[in-house]
A and B are shown apart, each in its own frame.
Chain A
């Protein structure tokens, strides 16, 4: 048996000195929340929202069903760390050390090549934001969340902010509501098709910190957008927390694709909440790759509200040593003739735990609906775990629901076949895993697909 080594994380593990950064006291009190709000010059309703969320946060218990989050000590997590820099519009203005971080991650290069706009968040604040002129001219708004609160679209933001994911949803949604900071606001006007993707990149650099960015995207009627989100953090010995929130509104006849490659360091508690509501004849597409973090709770939820609305979710989760990744999707069918497709893959190795968890709910109103789930899991050794925990709740006869799940290992025959063609065993196994992930990687933009294959290769081979 070939020894499969852990990923070489040097690519993501560089860290910057945070000595001169402004840092709040650890723990979470009303005082902290008021201070954050003051720092951010929140409108009054937002301070109120934060305080209400804090109250809920203190009331709601931690989940009793998923991976254990005992390692996360909320009393000792500074909820707010901000780099000493304001947001910049060109990379040259971003402080050199932070810029270097993003250079290493390849963000400015990618922007020049193939992105319509980029936002880069460093710890709690957006440090860079830029939209291509031709895209801005189409009326597309892509800005940081703080400016959006007071800018031209303030009313729109207020109308939608945490309406899809109310703070009462669960403990970490409440936490997010209380201490959120940074993130992006995107508005695509009616019938505007954004030809090239917009991207946000989140980088959590500080030790023992939390990142609580809020992403709010509104795609108006008949419009079309692809949004890419990337996340990474260096490794510290202290637990970090990511409790972001993504709210997506896909209006009538619109289409939104939301792609994520998440590669947080393996001390991260990734308790992220993502939700979309899809109106008539609109289409939502999730593409999700989860490679990093120590513990993840991640289940993008889609509310198929409008008749004939459509959603597909394509995801892969790769759990290695020390990782407990609980991922999946939720689909809620409400409109008539709605359809949802879930295609999920997971790989477990080196004692990693991956769990596919999903729920499909089909309301009585969702006549003519269709839902298909296809999930496959691969076990690479016998010290790892892979669990599949789907739930379906159907309230109408006029629905067509199919569910397929498969679990297995790399077949010896397949390895032998490749080896008989002169490929060594490690490579053969890596090829098989890449092939297993193929249905996900082919949904990603080229350089992300390359990044994902790279991550798989790093995980599989000793390079």
Chain B
């Protein structure tokens, strides 16, 4: 089996820390069989299947030009060429291509504003376990796409998801990924997006499942005034591995990237979170903000965090903040003075962390479903 590195960071650091990327020794079998598809689509939206090679070609045209020397200039070069940048990276694309995956190209025509979210259940109980999609959101089009990833406990099963989004000028896309996979399922969930002028991409991810997760996102803010907002909540328990890699590349003037990570970690779980805001020269008057809140509830956890800010532009503002630890004494006392004991205080705080993200999910059955799953997870 070929070793693959996913979620590599754009600027390497000490190898001994083992945070430069997630090295995957072995991946569960990949089944590129056809899956249910998007079903009936509203007017102005179409979907067709293309080959992986065609997809890469299609994407390459939409990707911003990348000069290797512009990637963390001044450091030992570590450039990983990829037709269209994603969080998990080139080696994951390779895996999908070698596995014979086909790609669904979902296109939303210019100026089409979908009033209802497009919901698709990615059910891993079926034959296929790959969902490779390109979302093409036309000029000034608007869409909300909800993906829930489900599947009961299984033995060494894989879940392979790749979502690449091309947002034309003024396009607005909300993409929600709720991962609720059972034990023994290893989830690889990759996202990449390129945003032209005035485009806005809101990405919401909830990792509530019980299997290992490798999830990555890369957003390329190419056009002026493009904005990227990512909110992520996760709960790690048991012996889970949660490995997240987020990368916002600010290229255009007045672009804006915000990332929030709310996590809870207990049992023997381990998580690695690498998140980068990369201000490229020319991203004048741009803003980048990253925030991590991690509540630690178990004493056998492993926590790795790399909050990176790269900057080649003067006229910008970047900020990062992280708080990692258990509930502090002051908070516990405040809760206690209202009659809430430690155990209950922890439950309230766990819920608060998840709710902060959950409440940004568009209302309706989808949100209720996630809320129910969350409740069950918290009861356990």
Q: So, do A and B actually touch in the complex, CB under 8 Å?
A: yes
- Complex CA gap A324/B324 in Å reads 31
Residue of A nearest to B306 (CB): A391
Shortest CB distance B288–A (Å): 8
Query: Which of A66, A359, A394, A395 meets B76, CB within 8 Å?
Result: A66
- Complex CA gap A97/B75 in Å reads 39
Cβ contact within 8 Å between B76 and A63: yes
Cβ contact within 8 Å between A401 and B324: yes
Cβ contact within 8 Å between B323 and A401: yes
Cβ contact within 8 Å between B12 and A353: no
Cβ contact within 8 Å between B304 and A391: yes
Q: Which stretch in B191-199, B292-300, B336-344 binds the other chain?
A: B292-300
State whether the Cβ of A48 lies closer than 8 Å to any Cβ in chain B. no
State whether the Cβ of B128 lies closer than 8 Å to any Cβ in chain A. no
Cβ contact within 8 Å between A382 and B281: yes
Q: Quick one: CB contact mask for A54-90 with B, threshold 8 Å, 1 for yes? A: 0000000001111110000000000000000000000
Cβ contact within 8 Å between B281 and A401: no
Cβ contact within 8 Å between A387 and B303: no
In A369-410, the 8 Å CB interface with B consists of: 377, 379-409
Point out the residues of chain B lying under 8 angstroms from A389, CB to CB: 11, 13, 306, 308
Cβ contact within 8 Å between A68 and B324: no
Interface size in chain A (residues, C-beta < 8 A): 45
Point out the residues of chain A lying under 8 angstroms from B119, CB to CB: none
Shortest CB distance B333–A (Å): 15
Cβ contact within 8 Å between A401 and B74: no
Interface class of chain A by DSSP: strand
Cβ contact within 8 Å between B299 and A393: no
Shortest CB distance B146–A (Å): 33
Residue of B nearest to A407 (CB): B318
Cβ contact within 8 Å between A397 and B301: yes
Cβ contact within 8 Å between B72 and A403: no
Q: Which stretch in B15-23, B216-224, B349-357 binds the other chain?
A: B15-23
State whether the Cβ of B257 lies closer than 8 Å to any Cβ in chain A. no
Q: Quick one: CB contact mask for B314-351 with A, threshold 8 Å, 1 for yes? A: 11111111111110100000000000000000000000
Cβ contact within 8 Å between A402 and B322: yes
Most chain B beta-carbon contacts within 10 A, residue among A65, A324, A383, A387: A387
Cβ contact within 8 Å between B324 and A394: yes
In B10-42, the 8 Å CB interface with A consists of: 11-15, 17, 19-20
- Complex CA gap A226/B334 in Å reads 43
- Complex CA gap A383/B315 in Å reads 11
State whether the Cβ of A357 lies closer than 8 Å to any Cβ in chain B. yes
Give the B-binding residues of A (Cβ under 8 A).
63-68, 324, 353, 355, 357, 359, 361, 364, 377, 379-409
Query: Which of A68, A392, A404, A407 meets B305, CB within 8 Å?
Result: A392
- Complex CA gap A181/B316 in Å reads 46
Query: Which of B14, B281, B296, B317 meets A65, CB within 8 Å?
Result: B14
Shortest CB distance B67–A (Å): 14
Point out the residues of chain A lying under 8 angstroms from B20, CB to CB: 65
- Complex CA gap A146/B312 in Å reads 46
Point out the residues of chain A lying under 8 angstroms from B309, CB to CB: 377, 387-388, 405, 407
- Complex CA gap A154/B328 in Å reads 49
- Complex CA gap A218/B321 in Å reads 37
- Complex CA gap A369/B300 in Å reads 15
Cβ contact within 8 Å between A388 and B320: yes
Query: Which of B19, B298, B318, B328 meets A397, CB within 8 Å?
Result: B298
- Complex CA gap A383/B312 in Å reads 7
Query: Which of B299, B311, B322 meets A407, CB within 8 Å?
Result: B311
Residue of A nearest to B283 (CB): A382
Cβ contact within 8 Å between B74 and A324: yes
Cβ contact within 8 Å between B315 and A382: yes
Given contacts A385-B74, A401-B322, A403-B307, contact A393 B312 (CB under 8 A): no
State whether the Cβ of B154 lies closer than 8 Å to any Cβ in chain A. no
Residue of A nearest to B305 (CB): A392
Shortest CB distance B255–A (Å): 15
Cβ contact within 8 Å between B299 and A387: no
Query: Which of A353, A400, A403 meets B321, CB within 8 Å?
Result: A403
Shortest CB distance B189–A (Å): 23
Given contacts A401-B323, A402-B323, contact A380 B76 (CB under 8 A): no
Please give me the 4 A-B residue pairs with the lowest Cβ-Cβ distance, nearest first. A65-B12, A353-B74, A394-B303, A407-B318
Residue of B nearest to A381 (CB): B314
Query: Which of A364, A391, A401 meets B325, CB within 8 Å?
Result: A401
Point out the residues of chain B lying under 8 angstroms from A402, CB to CB: 321-324
- Complex CA gap A36/B297 in Å reads 56
Given contacts A65-B20, A394-B324, contact A387 B318 (CB under 8 A): no
Point out the residues of chain B lying under 8 angstroms from A408, CB to CB: 316-318
Given contacts A382-B312, A382-B315, contact A64 B12 (CB under 8 A): yes
Cβ contact within 8 Å between A393 and B17: yes
Residue of A nearest to B298 (CB): A397
- Complex CA gap A379/B315 in Å reads 8
A65-B13, A399-B324, A406-B320 known, 13 other contacts, Cβ within 8 Å = A67-B75, A68-B76, A359-B17, A379-B313, A382-B313, A387-B310, A388-B308, A389-B11, A390-B306, A394-B296, A394-B302, A398-B299, A405-B320
- Complex CA gap A409/B279 in Å reads 13
Most chain A beta-carbon contacts within 10 A, residue among B20, B72, B322: B322
Given contacts A66-B76, A68-B76, A403-B321, contact A391 B313 (CB under 8 A): no
State whether the Cβ of B73 lies closer than 8 Å to any Cβ in chain A. yes
Point out the residues of chain B lying under 8 angstroms from A357, CB to CB: 13
- Complex CA gap A390/B308 in Å reads 7
- Complex CA gap A241/B273 in Å reads 36
- Complex CA gap A215/B181 in Å reads 55
- Complex CA gap A186/B311 in Å reads 41
Point out the residues of chain B lying under 8 angstroms from A384, CB to CB: 312, 314
- Complex CA gap A67/B13 in Å reads 11
- Complex CA gap A425/B307 in Å reads 34
Point out the residues of chain A lying under 8 angstroms from B314, CB to CB: 379-382, 384, 409
Query: Can you list 12 contacts pairing A with B, beta carbon distance less than 8 Å?
Result: A65-B11, A388-B310, A392-B306, A393-B303, A394-B305, A397-B301, A403-B320, A404-B322, A405-B307, A405-B321, A407-B317, A409-B315
Cβ contact within 8 Å between A395 and B303: yes
Shortest CB distance A361–B (Å): 8
Shortest CB distance B175–A (Å): 27
- Complex CA gap A52/B43 in Å reads 74
Given contacts A68-B76, A397-B326, A407-B311, contact A391 B296 (CB under 8 A): no
Shortest CB distance B122–A (Å): 32
Given contacts A65-B15, A65-B76, A68-B74, contact A406 B319 (CB under 8 A): yes
Given contacts A359-B13, A385-B73, A385-B74, contact A406 B312 (CB under 8 A): no
Q: Quick one: CB contact mask for B66-108 with A, threshold 8 Å, 1 for yes? A: 0000001111101000000000000000000000000000000
Cβ contact within 8 Å between A64 and B317: no
- Complex CA gap A183/B73 in Å reads 35
Residue of B nearest to A404 (CB): B321
Shortest CB distance A3–B (Å): 15
Residue of A nearest to B295 (CB): A397
